[in-house]
Structure 1
């Protein structure tokens, strides 16, 4: 759409913004529609739409008069009068319009063809379901009537589905669907400003359709506010769909099928999704979503294009309401007296919320760091050149042999992503305990306790469970591997972490620092003040950075270094750097032999040849998965876990070039 989105949709728990109360029945709905010159007065459209939805005649008219008025208003708003007699056009007017071969015309044609194809597929599925006594995926009698499920016509889709005027001032360089056939995103390039932007396109609502939407939201909100879930198997989405279906069946008889489809999309988006940022959250290329204040464009961090301005904005009142709703979704309280919240959404995405202009001059703001439903694998990191196959094989052997690691780097450098990916190398039956402030770690292990800290449930601090308490509890759970999301500034957490290493546990964590020397300085100095003797128990430090390469922002491991006790026994720390990144050639190079693997060899009774053989075997497995583009989470996990139990089988299958990762993931060979 050419105009910017503003506001947000109402959702579950949306009981008002910072200003308090629900002063406006339409407070939770995006004010997408504008009334242009020549259209009926807004109050007329609102009265007619309200009458159409509520079923109550407007003042001064009977139901039949109301229907006539609504029909006339609908026709006027759409620029065509249905009470005019049909006219058969001359032959020359019935000719097919010329094909628009401009770039904008090609985009429009491609998008609308996708919409029409999707609508046709839905119609076919509905017909098949109806033939089996099921309509629209719900039991017969519970869903919409057949005529109410009529798909939008081709003419409706071509004329009133999307607004393509955004293509007039920019060139589209990339496009993909995020919620077919209702929402897609375009990456646009503005030649004048020499900049890329991120544009969300959703169905366009005219003034009449907008008012109908607002009335439906009000009815649904009032209907669902006090509705209890009596059946444990009935989830929130099912209750909403059932109630929305009933209301549309009862009150939207005068609305065209195409409009019904658009309205259902917005109701689902606003009540069950995340409103105006729902399309952004559905885009797998987006890592962060950031709103810096009222009437300011929302920005996203795109994996390919970095920071992009979007066409989504929030007006002040609606922004206040939206951040409150995000807090409610996360199970947190947000108010003027307590205006800051750090939490996680149900999908695991991390959010930081600020309410009001008292502590933020631009008003409320929020940042969402998206959580990957399916974590990245070691193969993904190798394909992106974050690590090399040789580095990954080294880390695999270290983790398999209970060496402890710290992942260091700045914000957005990929520390947690790498730590998560290397969790694939933990032996499948080993007991793991993870401890985090917000849920980010996902492991392919069954024998895994996932602990998350909890803030206090009262102003006095009662009920708070912090990282230190969880770490103490973990030590009593007899884990072989302990994963701590991050060591920040709490000394007790740092000391307990290194004490766990000293007592024989294998531990991993992340630290904010951009070098090995920086990691050691942070650990040794206040506020952490970890004794040097305890730091000597650490084995490996991986340092990552986010860098620019050919105008793209990428993540690269900079060094893999080993922490060693000085040979003279002094109270100090030696660093043995095994791998370094060659920035000029953008590749990772081995610069020294590993002393940690020498320790592993001593413990296992290996000679140097056996160490090299173990590394070579793991490199072969990883290289095979990379070369054959095996990146699926369950398939990579299956191959690595099968190798840990039966390495000869995996190597034989690789040698024969018939390793079936999908079959392994399914439980067979």
Structure 2
């Protein structure tokens, strides 16, 4: 008989490293005898015994020695000052307990100590990995799970010691944002100062134990070239959307949870001319636009414990119309009054870009025209088109599923659709209403529209070939294109690199 254990294989899928608040971290992603990949976190140079001492004895000593008022701890403006006090205190404690340490090693251990005293401990390490989208704790008996951009859901080698530890982290987050989580209010939805979104639940609401779910805020937001490079959409679709944005046509981004709606909205916003004023409205700051744009980001605010001080999406939308915007970006439309203001803004000459939860164009129209949103179908003609984003969980990919135009009676017509078998976008119809709008507002003939799309496609392919994917890089090239189209196209036709 052959021992089954001998047949088990471990294949290394990936290895890479990064720094987490000054702490070197090594990651190994392996495929083991399990249904999910295994995400292994290693901190070289910190032995197990040292780690235990840091997390217990020295952590308690640091907290007792550094005198900081609780109001300072909760004040985000004093965050750097508080961290410095604790970091200096950690260095002093390490000098006393480990006098022979090198300066570099001491600073690494001080950072680790600080991470466990002020932050979320080992969770902080996961939040520093740009390749992760979600960090999930289901209970203290299971390992922490992460959602990797390339490998999907992975189990990690990290666990929390008990349910109390999960509760402590949830309470820490809640206190920092002026909220609370306890037996009477066992649900928490909040945001870290970094922009990461946090949800927490307590037992027995979550039957298996306390939970913590952190959706990471993208430090490297996607641009239109990123979307093309990772095959989320084709250059031709990118060029068509670029033409719509340039000519101030309003668009809606629809898609399911985690399909990349906000990422697409961010990429689309980078195509707006620098000469125009942009107001963005979100529940959480997720958009990152080029630094030189005329942009005012606004976010909603939850009511306080007494139920006062709320600033809703509707409040911000009404206020935005008084701020002389050229373009309005809305994170997500959920309610009837929000949608009414949104479409009213379109009908009064504002270009509006927003997202909506819907799995396809037909469903997006249905959601807009039925309760709870319930917009009259005749109002939908203010929209030029709908882009549908899609996340294929089995293949772990995101794609633009459909791009459709909206007709005067509120009906839609699909122009491009993704073919799952070939993994390609296919044109299923020619421009009709979009061509009419471009003819009306830009004076473009059908040939001029085609030539413009072809030209923009060339520019996008050139940008992708030169790896111009950063927000400011893409924004500067797009803005320069609006000022001097020939200058950009000359560089494209000669295959030259752009000087930023």
Fold shared by both chains (TM-score > 0.5): yes
Kindly report which structure 2 residues correspond to 1:376-387, keeping only aligned pairs within 5 A, or say none: 376-387=222-233
Q: In the alignment, which of 281, 285, 288 is matched to residue 134 of structure 2?
A: 288
* Counterpart check, 1:301 vs 2:147: yes
| TM-aligned CA distance change 1:208 to 1:602, over 3 Å | closer
CA separation in 2, counterparts of 1:414 and 1:206? 39
2:403: which partner in 1?
560
Q: In the alignment, which of 578, 582, 586 is matched to residue 419 of structure 2?
A: 582
| TM-aligned CA distance change 1:197 to 1:600, over 3 Å | same
* Counterpart check, 1:446 vs 2:293: yes
1:328-365 C-alpha deviation (Å, 9 max, x unpaired): 344433232222221221111111122x3131112221
* Counterpart check, 1:178 vs 2:21: no
Q: In the alignment, which of 378, 391, 413 is matched to residue 533 of structure 1?
A: 378
Contact 1:209 1:259 survives alignment (8 Å): no
CA separation in 2, counterparts of 1:211 and 1:624? 54
CA separation in 1, counterparts of 2:492 and 2:333? 40
CA deviation after TM superposition for structure 1 residue 247, in Å: 2.9
CA separation in 1, counterparts of 2:187 and 2:82? 28
The DSSP-based 3-state class of the residue aligned with 2:396 is strand
The DSSP-based 3-state class of the residue aligned with 1:552 is coil
| TM-aligned CA distance change 1:552 to 1:209, over 3 Å | closer
CA deviation after TM superposition for structure 1 residue 219, in Å: 2.2
The DSSP-based 3-state class of the residue aligned with 2:405 is strand
2:367: which partner in 1?
522
The DSSP-based 3-state class of the residue aligned with 1:358 is coil
The DSSP-based 3-state class of the residue aligned with 2:273 is coil
CA separation in 2, counterparts of 1:194 and 1:358? 28
2:448: which partner in 1?
610
Further displaced range: 624-633 or 303-312: 624-633
* Counterpart check, 1:426 vs 2:272: yes
1:558-595 C-alpha deviation (Å, 9 max, x unpaired): 110011014xxxxxx22121111122211112222222
1:635: which partner in 2?
473
The DSSP-based 3-state class of the residue aligned with 1:235 is helix
1:532-570 C-alpha deviation (Å, 9 max, x unpaired): 12222211111121115xx6310111110011014xxxx
1:246: which partner in 2?
92
2:221: which partner in 1?
375
* Counterpart check, 1:467 vs 2:313: yes
1:424-469 C-alpha deviation (Å, 9 max, x unpaired): 111112111111111111111531111100011233x211110011
1:11: which partner in 2?
none
CA separation in 1, counterparts of 2:376 and 2:301? 29
Kindly report which structure 2 residues correspond to 1:41-440, keeping only aligned pairs within 5 A, or say none: 170-179=10-19, 182-190=24-32, 192-193=33-34, 195-203=36-44, 204-207=46-49, 210-211=52-53, 213-226=55-68, 235-249=81-95, 251-253=96-98, 260=106, 263-271=109-117, 273-314=119-160, 315-354=162-201, 356-440=202-286
Contact 2:179 2:305 survives alignment (8 Å): no
Further displaced range: 317-326 or 257-266: 257-266
Q: Which runs of 5+ in 1 are unaligned?
A: 1-167, 567-572, 665-669
2:390: which partner in 1?
545
2:343: which partner in 1?
498
Further displaced range: 409-418 or 530-539: 530-539
CA deviation after TM superposition for structure 1 residue 419, in Å: 0.9
Contact 1:432 1:482 survives alignment (8 Å): yes
CA separation in 1, counterparts of 2:443 and 2:128? 51
TM-score, with structure 2 as normaliser: 0.90
| TM-aligned CA distance change 1:561 to 1:218, over 3 Å | same
Contact 1:299 1:309 survives alignment (8 Å): yes
CA deviation after TM superposition for structure 1 residue 290, in Å: 1.0
Q: Which runs of 5+ in 2 are unaligned?
A: 1-7
CA RMSD of aligned residues (A): 2.5
CA deviation after TM superposition for structure 1 residue 232, in Å: 7.2
Q: Which has the larger radius of gyration?
A: 1
1:25: which partner in 2?
none
CA deviation after TM superposition for structure 1 residue 212, in Å: 5.6
